[in-house]
Amino acid sequence: MVRKKGVHNTKRKKSKATKDTLARIKSFFYGACFVVVVIAGTLFSYEKLSPYFEMFASEVIRLEKTGVMFPEKESAPVKKKNDAAETQNIQPEKKTLEKVKLPAKAELPVCVVKKTEQVIRHKGYTVSYNSDYRIANWVAYELTREEVQITKIERKNKFVIDPDVKGASAFNEDYTGTGYDRGHLAPAGDMKWSLQAMQESFYLSNITPQKPKLNRGIWKDLEEQCRMWAVDNGALLIATGPVIKPGLKRMGKNRVAIPEQFYKVICTIKDNQYEAVGFLLDNRDYGSKQLKDLMIPVDSVEAATGIDFFPALPDEIEKKVEAKVNKNAWSF
């Protein structure tokens, strides 16, 4: 009995070993089949798709050469600290303030009250000459920083008749022994930039009878002040002349009118804004009186003269700057 039991156990062990071997062979077979199938599928797919792979590779090479596939990277802009766009909502871009400019020929006035006049254009100024009174209605010119800074021409004291004047004119002899200076309207000191301009400033159409203490006093101060303003601001528009009215006294053989008052109006641009100021001076000595105490609106000068100054300015600007004086815009 003992022997049969041993034989039976041995057979059972052999049977189990056989099954294990068969299981391993089966697993190996299945694995091999899977590998074969994968390889076969890969070969089949490559054979079918290889034309497309080649086309794709060619396209990649083409794009790479043209820089489309891999464009060069631009360096990112350096962000500033405390950038307003990062700290708040994006605001609309502010428009650049347009620079204000003096219009061409804006210095030329217009006589509102009818007067006899002949408008003559010279090198450094324009004159509206009144042959009835043998003096000018007005003289106007632009004075620039560059003109003031050129001082190569010395003063010429040769007073002569304006060759362009038609009709009656003053002569040098009309001033002799009268006690009046030959007072410039457009001063010789503003014409040192040109020999022709200097010579023409001594035309008698640019000259009026002035009391010596006016001509050599506060009137001269005003001329010098204008040159300083021209340097400070870049340019001035200046209109000046005598106040002409009926009944003025006369002098000399040619009956030259003697003005009782003189005016000067000035327009400039200060801090990108138009500014204007006027002066109305009696034909007398002002002693120690200061110019800053004599500033008046251009409108006041227009009322006294019957002349419209700076008419080329836009109406709204002309109305504003001529109505009052911004004293802070004029340094002394």
Q: Is 122 in the active site?
A: no
d(CA 25, CA 221) in angstroms, rounded, equals: 125
Q: Which residues contact 202 (CB under 8 A, 6 or more apart)?
A: 156, 157, 158, 159, 160, 188
Return the closest-CA partner of residue 153 out of 196, 193, 202, 122. 193
Among 184, 192, 211, 264, the one annotated catalytic: 184
Tell me if 218 sits within 8 A of 139, measured CB to CB: no
What backbone phi and psi angles, to 5 degrees, belong to 284?
A: -155, 180
Q: Report the residue count for the chain.
A: 332
The single-letter DSSP state of residue 113 is S
DSSP 164-187: T--S----GGGTTTSS-EEEESS-
Question: Do 233 and 276 touch, CB atoms closer than 8 A?
Answer: no
Residues with catalytic roles: 184
